[in-house]
Structure 1
Amino acid sequence: MTGHAHHAVPDAPPLAGGVSGSDALRPLLGTVLDALAEGARRRNGPLPAGGPARTAADVADSLAACGSTDALAQLTTLLAQGSADPAEPACAAHLHCPPLAVAVAADLAVSALNPSQDSWDQAPAATELETALVRELAALVGYDPAQAAGVVTSGGTESNLMGLMLARDRELTRESGRPTELTGVPGHLTPRLFASAAAHFSVQRAAAVLGLGEAAVVSVPVDADLRMDPDALEQRLKHSVAEGEIPVAVVATAGTTDTGGIDPLPRIADLAAEYGAWLHVDAAYGGGALLSDRLAPLLDGLARADSVSLDWHKLGWQPAPAGVFLVRRAETYAPLARRAVYLNPADDEEAGYPSLLGLSLRTTRRPDAFKILATLRTLGRSGLGRLVDACHDLARHAAATVADHPALELHTAPVLTTVVFRYRPASAGPDGTDRINGALRRRLLHEGRAVVGRTELPGEGPGRVRLKLTLLNPHTTPAEVDALLHMVAEAGKAEEAMSDG
């Protein structure tokens, strides 16, 4: 009998998995938790003070002083001290949520076991769990779970790419009558994708990646709430067809990143069907409204979409990544099907070993479905819905406070959990108002006092800069929101005084 002797590597760090994995992790978890608390204490606010130069110096100093015996503690302290913490009430710039503790704990379990979902034999339970989650979320969207399909993704950008890829490939199949292993479109076609002026930039990026070119995306005007104008969409579709172009897809947005605006989905679905275009709905932000009895009616018409993008690291309180891509009809997924003999050989699948490989653009893929399922089972739709409603209430309170403040100006009433506004100087033109609003935000960042968003409304010329609160912490109080808006106004006054001086 021959073979190789196996010996433990001297001084090798213990592994996180296996029978002894929990024993190896337990003391390290204490180290990490203590370091997280210490880093937050040193930060003492929503983000580190001093700006980029100070943060870069702190990182360089910590790396230079970091020793092998305390590297985990030192680096975790550094990370916490130098992070923008979305759990802080004054950290409200982006669609960047404070994750729920149950979701973080579930994410740790996934990291310890390290399954990869490109084959069943790497992730037996995770394969079934993701399949169950997809069915559950398909039903939440309004799809028939028995007819739908989907996959967990890295986020809205990947999901939008997948939706437009399937739309492109459906059009290629229509034209050629053959399977679509093509990377572009035949020369005689002029493809067009229709998206609002407020759609996420990933739509243009996806068009470029898919070989259609960013110029293939036709921008459709929006109203003051940044919702697509369906009459303008109809005009552009008519013009496109009259010019001999192909309306490949319409991309509707359910929750714009700036105002949370939701496009009129029923009318857009009618137009997409009339012109034979694939309808993809980017509900990465607004999909969270499905959890709320109060807000779910905003998404009426979503079930008519050919594909939908969701993202639970926004109004789902998950650690990123936590995106989901769904299609209404499983057969439209055919262009993504792939066979790799070392991962999903046909005889394995025929024998009952399922594979998720042909559902994703990625190969190695961690089971992010697990933390979403753990959260859904712990809180239920109603529990998560209460969190959504709490953030919506905060946004309405913030809007009322802005409307009543003599130095602040509200752009529009909040739809979801985002409030868009600006500081209004006593005496400054549009250019000066833009400069002051940009500068006051950087002042708050440099001081480490607040993280407030900045955006520019569609249109030409000055007077476009707005500030933004994206309220995703359901534990923030109205008084804390008021204090944040007071900080914004005071910073505006300071910048205005410097401008006048």
Structure 2
Amino acid sequence: MAGLLRAVVPAESDTPLTRLSGGPGGPGALTPMLRTVLGALAEGAERRGGPLPAGSPAQLAADVARVFAEADGDGALHKLTDVLAYGSADPADPSCAAHLHCPPLAVAVAADLAVSALNPSQDSWDQAPAATALETLLLQELAQLVGYDPNEAAGVLTSGGTESNLMGLMLARDRVIGQDSGRQIELSGLPGTGRRARIFTSEAAHFSVQRSAALLGLGEDAVVPVPVDDQLRMRPDALATALRDCVRRGELPLAVVATAGTTDTGAIDPLRTCASLSAEYGAWLHVDAAYGGGALLSEQLAPLMAGVALADSVSLDWHKLGWQPVAAGIFLVKRAETYASLARRAVYLNPQDDEEAGYPSLLGLSLRTTRRTDAFKIAVTLRTLGRDGLGRLVDACHALARSGTEAVRAHPNLELHADPVLTAFLFRYLPESPRNIDPERVDRINAGLRRRLLREGRAVVGRTELPGEGPGRVRLKLTLLNPHATPAEVERLLDAVVAAGRAEEEL
């Protein structure tokens, strides 16, 4: 704590170090500091010289600790920004392709600066007058993009898919268990007796489904993993069987969580079938489209999302296939009345008489109170590029992934798992030496080559495992979200993977 408080701040109330970012003088106060930040970003990136810094985590931590200890006063901004840029994994580098970690558009970052400077909070109109209206308009437009009636839908900006999935399952819990038990679940809690509630989702779904079940008092064991096909999509026959068995056991089908764009392969579950089965068994259908929702921007890929409009709720993440700074999550429900259990009244934020007088409140739409205006950067991006412009970026990344899979197919030391659905694909390095063909050894080489690339600062490649048991399931992953990267750059990345694999074979 002493180190944090050591910086010297002049006693005068109006110095360059204590001026505020808002008000008429705010832009003037920001201008020299922005020059400092931009200069330090450039210096740090040049010093890094690649997709991430070379060296071990311990070495980087020591560098950061040293700079943190040395940073003081008006030099702190430059020094700490420089070390942040140096020590970052840069998703704009074509060799940084492991995660759903997009390089944000410059226009979105510039828009985000305006929000940071003005610091509106979305929990009451009098903290965010224009932003309240803007978020409402944006959500209506995004509801239309999904296929909802904007006059009947409702939604909110979230921190991402995890929060959105939690909200969808919370509303499902309150509505389905509430109807089954005759209780108002958000007030009285889960009934101590009655049918055990079950949530159905694919074996390849995001871990936040289990986490949400735990947070909602249902328990992770309430989640029934449904088998997937060889493309890692939920099998309709397996879902039908699981729902039928649930009812036969006297349990309550609470929700089906269909994934539209798994984190590993971008697989999209059969949404229409999921909707039909959910309706047949009285279950809420939530579609986790945090990744695949970006396909809605593309005329070419939008048909993959057919059936999403049948869902009771949907999650989208524009900080994945939307090129926004974190956070840019969106949660939507098809019918606004299903939001009822989230409604809240706080007399200091949204008193009844204010709302009756025409001052709207978004408080009852979110799990959070203080909430940043993340809608603004999305709105600016949409108005700047339009759906067509963003769709071309989606198509460019999809084409890049297809080119990358062809390069994998053509290389004797690489094995492709499947063609890309969106912009990601799985593959692995196949050892050259016969002594290394044991499945456990192949797994160790693939895991080791990824860490070698990280240690050398040459590439950020993903690692995952296929569903199942036993060795031989480790796969490498490229998630291509840079629309300006080229096929040649992806081929160079794959060459780096092969070179690292060969080095690992020699150990």
Is the shorter-chain TM-score for this pair beyond 0.5, marking a shared fold? yes
Counterpart Cα distance in 2 of 1:265 and 1:179 = 30
Code of the residue aligned with 1:144 in structure 2: it is D
Pick from 123, 127, 134: which aligns with 1:122? 127
Distance 1:31-1:214 versus aligned 2 partners, 3 A rule: same
Residue 67 of structure 1 pairs with residue 72 of structure 2: yes
Partner of 1:404: 410
Residue 347 of structure 1 pairs with residue 365 of structure 2: no
Counterpart Cα distance in 2 of 1:264 and 1:299 = 9
Residue 30 of structure 1 pairs with residue 35 of structure 2: yes
Partner of 1:337: 343
Counterpart Cα distance in 2 of 1:311 and 1:130 = 15
Q: Secondary structure at the match of 1:147?
A: coil
Partner of 1:493: 502
Q: Secondary structure at the match of 2:74?
A: coil
Q: Deviations over 1:245-296 (max 9, x none)?
A: 0000000000000000000111111100000100000000000000000000
Pick from 17, 21, 26: which aligns with 1:16? 21
Partner of 2:215: 209
Pick from 342, 349, 367: which aligns with 2:373? 367
1:18-417 equivalent positions in 2, closer than 5 A: 18-180=23-185, 181-417=187-423
Code of the residue aligned with 1:439 in structure 2: it is G
Code of the residue aligned with 1:445 in structure 2: it is L
Gaps of 5+ in 1: 1-6
Counterpart Cα distance in 1 of 2:66 and 2:193 = 56
Across the two proteins, how many residue pairs are aligned to each other? 492
Counterpart Cα distance in 2 of 1:360 and 1:72 = 34
User: What TM-score, normalized by structure 2, do the two folds share?
Assistant: 0.96
* CA positional deviation for 1:225: 1.2
1:184·1:210 contact (CA, 8 Å) conserved in 2? no
Counterpart Cα distance in 1 of 2:75 and 2:193 = 60
Gaps of 5+ in 2: 1-10
* CA positional deviation for 1:8: 6.9
Code of the residue aligned with 1:363 in structure 2: it is T
Q: Choose 49-58 or 356-365, whichever is displaced more.
A: 49-58
* CA positional deviation for 1:176: 3.6
Q: Deviations over 1:393-425 (max 9, x none)?
A: 000000000011000000001000001000011
2:44·2:84 contact (CA, 8 Å) conserved in 1? yes
Query: Over aligned residue pairs, what C-alpha RMSD do you find?
Result: 1.1
Q: Choose 56-65 or 130-139, whichever is displaced more.
A: 56-65
Pick from 476, 490, 494: which aligns with 1:467? 476
Code of the residue aligned with 2:228 in structure 1: it is V
Distance 1:10-1:284 versus aligned 2 partners, 3 A rule: closer
Code of the residue aligned with 1:397 in structure 2: it is S
Q: Secondary structure at the match of 1:270?
A: helix
1:185·1:212 contact (CA, 8 Å) conserved in 2? no
Counterpart Cα distance in 1 of 2:418 and 2:230 = 7
Code of the residue aligned with 2:138 in structure 1: it is L
Partner of 2:492: 483
Counterpart Cα distance in 1 of 2:28 and 2:233 = 53
Q: Deviations over 1:233-253 (max 9, x none)?
A: 000100000000000000000
Counterpart Cα distance in 2 of 1:126 and 1:75 = 31
User: What TM-score, normalized by structure 1, do the two folds share?
Assistant: 0.97
* CA positional deviation for 1:57: 1.2
Counterpart Cα distance in 2 of 1:216 and 1:120 = 39
Q: Secondary structure at the match of 2:157?
A: strand
Counterpart Cα distance in 1 of 2:467 and 2:20 = 52
2:121·2:372 contact (CA, 8 Å) conserved in 1? yes
2:176·2:284 contact (CA, 8 Å) conserved in 1? no
Counterpart Cα distance in 1 of 2:490 and 2:256 = 37
2:177·2:197 contact (CA, 8 Å) conserved in 1? no
* CA positional deviation for 1:102: 0.4
Partner of 1:4: none
* CA positional deviation for 1:40: 0.2
Counterpart Cα distance in 2 of 1:245 and 1:79 = 51
Counterpart Cα distance in 1 of 2:68 and 2:318 = 33
Counterpart Cα distance in 1 of 2:184 and 2:162 = 25
Counterpart Cα distance in 1 of 2:14 and 2:403 = 60
* CA positional deviation for 1:178: 4.2
Code of the residue aligned with 2:78 in structure 1: it is A
1:441-460 equivalent positions in 2, closer than 5 A: 441-460=450-469
* Misfit runs of 4+, over 4 Å: none
2:181·2:191 contact (CA, 8 Å) conserved in 1? no
2:181·2:194 contact (CA, 8 Å) conserved in 1? no
Q: Deviations over 1:450-500 (max 9, x none)?
A: 0000000100000010000000000101100000000001100110122xx
* CA positional deviation for 1:60: 1.4
2:213·2:220 contact (CA, 8 Å) conserved in 1? yes
* CA positional deviation for 1:10: 5.7
1:32·1:72 contact (CA, 8 Å) conserved in 2? yes
Counterpart Cα distance in 2 of 1:183 and 1:407 = 56
Q: Secondary structure at the match of 1:50?
A: coil
Counterpart Cα distance in 1 of 2:385 and 2:402 = 24
Counterpart Cα distance in 2 of 1:381 and 1:182 = 44
Q: Choose 316-325 or 172-181, whichever is displaced more.
A: 172-181
Counterpart Cα distance in 1 of 2:320 and 2:104 = 9
